[in-house]
Amino acid sequence: MPQGDKFILLTGRANPKLATDIAKILKTKVHNPITKFSDGETRVKIPVNLRNRDVFIIQPTCPPEVDSFLIELLLMIDAARRASADRIYAVVPYLGYSRQDRKEGPRVPISSAILTEMIEYAGVTAISTVDLHSEPQQGFIKCPIDNLYGSYTLVPKLRSLKLKNLVIASPDKGGVPKATAYAKLLKAHGIAIVYKERDLSINNRAEALEMIGDVGGKNVLMVDDMIDTGGTICEAANLIKKRGAKSIIAAATHGLFTGPALERINSSAIEKVFVTDTVPVTETVLKSPKVKVITIAPLLAEVIRRIQSGESISSLIL
Ligand code: R5P
């Protein structure tokens, strides 16, 4: 029986290219049930029977329309539930708002908690995501969350570079577990940690102040969960360069590249940046001489296949 007979794939407008690539690997079709009403409201009308089927909804809640993409996801879940789907899985390769995961000051929401609760409330069976900004967020809701790692996709490419005298650097202290994991996987000589200060009164402003670790004469790989405006990674790279690194490359799971990110990267000490396509890859990113995108579609297709057939996915979690 072709895979498509057992389950239905849906996508919204967030990253239809990734959804189509996943569908190709699974030898099935992906349906996009989203249109817009004249007043801007989202309309969902799923074109196929869902009764007693498993439904996988592939939709990162990412730029450029984070909030609209979230609404699309919620409405697709609701439509699938009301159409008597058997199990409904939200495959959210990039979960927006995940950096707002604590009350970092007075009179602010814990945005990540409320939004994850909304996804659960809409009626999902489980959520699959990639590199949640902080893993304790899984505790915000009761339904299962499979948090996969971008390293599964990025490490084979990084290994193929055969970098000698390699040091893995984290551009901030929150990224130390990730840097340690990459160091193990790539058999690096050690890790370095950049100390960054955020100005909470200004959005997206970070400054690299100090670092721990010896990068003198070393090839340095900086790893992070995401590159947004590029401030964190470029600030860190410039400090690492000043401390005598021989070369610097970077790897991040989510290449958001908003605002000045690409300009910053182009004029930074970073030679190459590897990202996955959890979020849509724009023409500008494709044309950027320093950015290389490696598709995460095979990983997500395999996850969908294993969820559907009831196999373990823990071996995919590097
Ligand atoms: C922060 O804790 C994250 O892991 C990223 O380092 C950060 O959000 C990236 O943002 P930007 O590229 O705007 O500095």
pLDDT tens string for the chain (318 positions)?
444 468 999 999 999 999 999 999 999 999 999 999 999 999 999 999 999 999 999 999 999 999 999 999 999 999 999 999 999 999 999 999 999 999 989 999 999 999 999 999 999 999 999 999 988 889 999 999 999 999 999 999 999 999 999 999 999 989 999 999 999 999 999 999 999 777 666 777 677 679 999 999 999 999 999 999 999 999 999 999 999 999 999 999 999 999 999 999 999 999 999 999 999 999 999 999 999 999 999 999 999 999 999 999 987 765
8 A C-beta contact, residue 92 and residue 124:
no
pTM of the model: 0.95
- Catalytic residue chosen out of the listed positions 196, 241, 272, 290: 196
For residue 318, the model assigns a pLDDT of 56
Ligand 1, atom 6: nearest CA belongs to which residue?
Answer: 232
For residue 207, the model assigns a pLDDT of 72
For residue 200, the model assigns a pLDDT of 66
* β-strand pairing of 42-44 with 34-36: antiparallel
For residue 129, the model assigns a pLDDT of 97
Say whether 196 is catalytic: yes
CA distance 98 to 140: 11
For residue 16, the model assigns a pLDDT of 98
Convert 104-143 to b/e letters by CB count within 10 Å (16 or more is b): eeeeeebebbebbeebbebbbbebbbbbbbeeebbebbee
Ligand 1, atom 10: nearest CA belongs to which residue?
Answer: 228
Q: Which two tokens stand for residue 69?
A: 């993409």
8 A C-beta contact, residue 271 and residue 247:
yes
Atom of ligand 1 nearest to the CA of 229: 13
Does domain 3-149+297-317 fall under CATH 3.40.50.2020? My reply is yes
Terminal-residue alpha carbon distance, the chain: 31
Look up the CATH architecture of domain 151-294.
3-Layer(aba) Sandwich (3.40)
For residue 135, the model assigns a pLDDT of 87
User: What are 172-180's contacts with CB under 8 Å, separation 24+?
Assistant: 172/196, 172/206, 172/224, 172/232, 172/236, 174/134, 175/223, 175/224, 175/225, 178/151, 178/223, 178/224, 178/225, 179/223
For residue 199, the model assigns a pLDDT of 67
Domain boundaries, the chain: 3-149+297-317, 151-294
Q: What is the dihedral of CA 256, 259, 264, 266, to 10 degrees?
A: 70
- At position 156, the amino acid (one-letter code) is P
- 79 C-beta neighbours (distance < 10 Å), count: 21
As a whole number of Å, the CA-based R_g of the chain is 20
Please determine whether the domains at 3-149+297-317 and 151-294 fall in the same fold group of CATH: yes
Which residue, chain included where needed, has tokens 């339904």? 143
CA distance 150 to 285: 18
Atom of ligand 1 nearest to the CA of 230: 12
CA distance 263 to 257: 10
Centroid of ligand 1 to alpha carbon of 17 (angstroms): 25
Ligand 1, atom 5: nearest CA belongs to which residue?
Answer: 226
174 lines ligand 1 (CB under 6 A): yes
CA distance 265 to 245: 17
* β-strand pairing of 190-198 with 206-212: antiparallel
What lies within 8 Å, CB to CB, of 295 at 6+ separation is 18, 21, 153, 276, 277
8 A C-beta contact, residue 167 and residue 190:
yes
265 lines ligand 1 (CB under 6 A): no
For residue 28, the model assigns a pLDDT of 97
